[in-house]
Amino acid sequence: MEMRPTWAHAISIWWSYFWRLIGAIVICIVVSFLIVGVLGKLGLGSAVLKLAYGVTFVGTGIFASIIPVKMILGRNFRSYRIALVPPDKWRG
C-alpha cells in the first residue's frame, strides 16, 4: 500500500542521507590528505599537490555521495520503508 509523502517523511529521509553524507565527506577528506601526504613525501610541488587534492577529493566524493543513497534504499523507517517497485507492479 502506497503512502502519500509528507514533509515529515522528507525530513526523515533527508536526515538519514545527510548524516551518512557527512561521514562520507570526512572519509573523502582523510583519503585526499593521505594521498597528498604521500605525494608530498615524493617531493612534488605545491601546485601539483593542490591539483592532486582537488582531483582526489572530487573523485572520491562522487563515489562517496552514492553510498548513502544505497544505504537508505530499502531501509525501514518508523512507519514506512523506502522501496523500489517495478512499474508493472505499481498502481499510481
Residues 55-92 have pLDDT tens digits of 988 888 888 889 899 989 888 888 888 888 888 877 65
- Rounded Cα distance between 34 and 49, Å, is 11
Q: What mean pLDDT do residues 2-14 have?
A: 90
pLDDT of residue 24: 86
pLDDT of residue 32: 85
For 55-73, letters b (16+ CB in 10 Å) and e give: ebbeebbeebeeebeeeee
Q: What is the pLDDT of residue 10?
A: 93
The contacts of residue 80 (CB under 8 Å, 6+ apart) are 3, 9
pLDDT given for residue 92 in this prediction: 59
Q: How far is CA 91 from the centre of its chain?
A: 30
Q: Write down the pLDDT at residue 7.
A: 95
**Tens of pLDDT along 12-56?**
999 999 999 999 889 888 888 898 889 889 988 889 888 988 898
